Amino acid sequence: MSTAPDSPSPWLRRPEPRPAATTTVVCLPHAGGNAGFFQPWARMLPPELELLAVQYPGRQDRLLEEPLVEMAALADAVTAELVRTPLLAGRELVLFGHSMGASVGWEVTRRLERGSGPRPRRLLVSGRPGPRAQQPIDAYRLGEEEFVDELRRMGGTSDELLDDPEMRELLLPAVRADYQVVGTYAPDLDARVSCPVDAFTGDADPDVTPETAAAWEHATHGPFTLSVLPGDHFFPWSQTEHMVAALAASAPPARTP
């Protein structure tokens, strides 16, 4: 999976280049996640959609970069890349974010709607309470063993990685930084985006109930939908076909010759 060939940006990954696409879907990972989580989705989207995945600093090929620890800094950086990249020129834009990425996506959408760059036609959020239902968490302050126990509780990180001291040394700084982003984030409870918002949650998610996911309705002036799917916090990757279909449906109808 490569960076976008038309841009030197380390932030954007273009796993399935589609120069003729009419809509770009930008995907934002969860805390501790990386752009590679969305690689299978890129191949499954219809040909008129191209997927770009955001790679946060401090992981994989950006391992030597300092991870960001504040939501505003992270959202500002992603917004700047989307404004700058030529890959969005003349295209519709859809944003998808999971867990931490949902909040990043909402903040990026707010910034894009206020600025002169591309305006998202739709925002899809999953695995995250709406802004009015979010609670500050301080898990990023935990000692190493307690922090690892929290990662095991949430799932999404293999025990094999968490049991390997060398892998933990590489993995944990970025994950802890992401948890700090979430734990210190204080959203503007009166702010709303203009575009439609579609929220998704797993019926067995230990931290996001249908009621707290429904709070995203108060984060938009546009239409809102809520879908509850089978699965835990990482349900999007056990419900791949459903999520890819939702992304495809968020784009305008394919143009006919």
**Catalytic sites, residue numbers:** 99, 233
SS3 string of the chain? CCECCCCCCCCEECCCCCCCCCEEEEEECCCCCCHHHHHHHHHHCCCCEEEEEECCCCCHHHCCCCCCCCHHHHHHHHHHHHHHCHHHCCCEEEEEEECHHHHHHHHHHHHHHHCCCCCCCEEEEECCCCHHHCCCCCHHHCCHHHHHHHHHHHCCCCHHHHHCHHHHHHHHHHHHHHHHHHHCCCCCCCCCECCCEEEEEECCCCCCCHHHHHHHHHHECCCEEEEEECCCCCHHHCCHHHHHHHHHHCCCCCCCC
